Amino acid sequence: MINSPGNSFINVSGLTIGMAVAILIELWVSDEINFNKHFANYDRLGQLYHHITFGEETFSINDVPAPIGEALKANFAEFEETALATFQHEHDIALDEKKFSKAGLFVEPSFVGMFSIKMLEGPAKPLEDLHSIILSKTMASALLGDKPVGKMIKFDNRDQLMVTGVFDDFASNSEFKDVHMLMPIVYWFSVSDAHRRKQNNWEDFAFQCFVLMKDCASFDKVQAKIKHTLYDKVSGDGKAIKPEGFLFPMKKWHLYADFKDGVSTQAQIKSVWMFGLLGIFVLILACINFMNLSTARGEKRSREVGIRKVMGSQRKQLVFQFLSESLLMAFICFCLAIGIVALAFPWFNDLAGKQMALPWNNLRFTFGALTFVLLTGSLAGSYPALYLSSFSPVKVLKGTFKAGRFASLPRKVMVIFQFTTSIILIIATVVVYLQIQHAKDRPVGFDRRGILQIRIRTDGLGKANYNALRNELLATNAVENMAISDFPITGPMAGDGSITWEGKDPAATSLIALNSCSHDFPKTNGFQFVEGRDFSRDYSTDSSAVIINEMAARLISEKNIIGKKIIFGHEKERVIIGVIKTRYAGHHL
């Protein structure tokens, strides 16, 4: 290495970078396939899903009504426990001048035991009291300091809740990694009459239901039994969407949760294996580069081989020597690669949305690292060892040694493979980059420049005088317009399958996403009207008007859509006053 610094630098740097890339990808793949595995009941935990049908489309959802959890536990012996929970939302908690906004869940008390949540302080069942709350270790330390149990904190600027426990933070590769507080779901039901009505309502799909199977039970066998549980309880509108229940095991939550027409697309797991294969190819390319550079220096080491053979060295000893050199080189490269990985982790974690670190205290990682070095060193050094040890000592020492006509064939094959694979990867990278740029720059039907979205997290802020705030902000001349809505411009919205209109086929069901907003919402977001007009304060009737997009317009009527009336469930009629460009697939109002 010292005598050939240029060659050594190319050899070491190539293998080092290849190893660093392979290690980063392997750690990411490992993190993905081990998602949620730290839960003690990993193999027995599942979530209730339903296939629902609208026209010719089938959707798979995990939204369920509140009473279904108790119904499953009471009617099917296969379930050891069930737990109802809300969906994850941010909540404000405060103590004196300290205020934090973190994600939390309202859950049934059984949730703690089902998910083997490690309680660091407080009782084993900490959510029995109506006004109780348990915090993660990070949250409790930041807000309350020492001895947090028993302290009162203000929740969502509304009620005082008592901290009854502190739990260990959820793992970074967990479904609940962002959850820092758990509250009893009975408290959520007690907050308002609207919440209270959901408790026994089979028509309101607003919750999640988790199940814990008994040791002797299996997900597949209980599937057929629970299939029609919801269908038997809902009314005519609920039956129209033909809900079919199924249990989704925890081991599939992270990588198999993308459904199309009732079947998992397996898109996430395919991406994981694709990246894993990419890491293998990068490492193979680095090893081929190492082989080619080593064999290219073969003639320079031919005299050394000849003298060693004359002095009595056997070929297997020479093979062992060259393999030892490769293993030593691989170990040096591995150490350098670990350094690169450590330096790249902050950037890589930010890119991948992870919180990974090198698991030095994990024996499996240590054993895997040693195996990785041995395999890489053996793979990279095998061909050079066999090639260099095959030299004839007589020809070498006479200076008449020449490589055979086919001696360079393996190296040529490897070079072709190396360049072909590299070009394919470069082309694929360019294509993916161009596709991403196209997705970012494609017309979306609204103005993306200068729009700022602020979530209203508390009831107090939601009850504030919106018009006064709007007028004050507009007066600054920094804000061009402002609006308020139930949902953001993009992302999930409320879905309604009971919307009807004149001429609609009674047998047809259509799931239509909708969003309630203030007058200025379309104008603020730069929606592009293709027909009709925007909301206007000059028309008092606009309080019962509706704007739809092109896809919803095609669903309702082929022509003369402006002025048509639609009915939302049992509400009064609403008049269509405008049609905007469709932003993305789906029917939206």
For 505-539, write each residue's pLDDT tens digit: 777 767 778 888 888 899 898 888 889 999 988 88
Angle at 247 between CA 245 and CA 249, to 5 degrees: 160
Token pair 């991403």: residue = 436
Cα–Cα distance between 70 and 229 in angstroms, integer? 12
For residues 510 and 490, is the Cβ–Cβ distance under 8 A? no
The per-residue pLDDT for 475 is 93
For residues 92 and 102, is the Cβ–Cβ distance under 8 A? no
Amino acid occupying residue 372: F
**Regions in the chain scoring below 70 on pLDDT:** 295-310, 312, 383-408, 457-462, 491-492, 494, 497, 509, 569-571, 583-589
Candidates 257, 279, 277; CA nearest to 268 is 257
* Bridge-based pairing state of the strands 79-85 and 500-501: unpaired
The per-residue pLDDT for 390 is 66
Cα–Cα distance between 226 and 164 in angstroms, integer? 35
Cα–Cα distance between 228 and 147 in angstroms, integer? 48
The per-residue pLDDT for 442 is 78
Q: What is the four-CA torsion angle of 112, 115, 119, 122, rounded to 10 degrees?
A: 10
pTM for the predicted model, two decimal places? 0.80
Cα–Cα distance between 78 and 83 in angstroms, integer? 15
The per-residue pLDDT for 107 is 95
The per-residue pLDDT for 59 is 86
Cα–Cα distance between 165 and 182 in angstroms, integer? 10
Amino acid occupying residue 31: D
The per-residue pLDDT for 587 is 46
Residues written for the chain: 589
Report how far apart, in Å, the C-alpha atoms of 109 and of each of 45, 130, 184, 346 are: 16, 11, 7, 37
Locate 490 and state its tokens.
Answer: 């993009």
DSSP 49: E
The per-residue pLDDT for 401 is 53
Give helix 5-33 / helix 267-296 axis angle, nearest 10°: 160
Exposed e or buried b for every residue in 282-319, given b needs 16+ CB within 10 A?
A: bbbbbbbbbbbbbbeebeebbeebbebbeeebeeeebb
DSSP 544: G
Cα–Cα distance between 265 and 212 in angstroms, integer? 25
Candidates 357, 369, 385; CA nearest to 333 is 369
SS (H, E, C) 254-287: CCCCCEECCEECCHHHHHHHHHHHHHHHHHHHHH
Contacting residues for 379 by C-beta, under 8 A, at least 6 apart:
284, 287
For residues 530 and 579, is the Cβ–Cβ distance under 8 A? yes
CB atoms within 10 A of CB 529: 13
- Judge residue 449's burial from the number of C-beta atoms within 10 Å of its C-beta, 0-12 exposed, 13-18 middle, 19 or more buried: exposed
The per-residue pLDDT for 176 is 93
Give helix 363-388 / helix 5-33 axis angle, nearest 10°: 140
Signed CA dihedral, 158, 160, 164, 165: sign only: positive
Radius of gyration of the chain (CA): 32
For residues 34 and 24, is the Cβ–Cβ distance under 8 A? no
Candidates 161, 209, 184, 221; CA nearest to 108 is 184
Contacting residues for 483 by C-beta, under 8 A, at least 6 apart:
517, 518, 519, 520, 521, 523, 524, 525
Exposed e or buried b for every residue in 27-62, given b needs 16+ CB within 10 A?
A: bbbbbbbebbeebebeebbbbbbbbbbbeeebbbeb
The per-residue pLDDT for 358 is 83
The per-residue pLDDT for 300 is 63
The per-residue pLDDT for 479 is 92
Candidates 5, 7, 21; CA nearest to 337 is 21
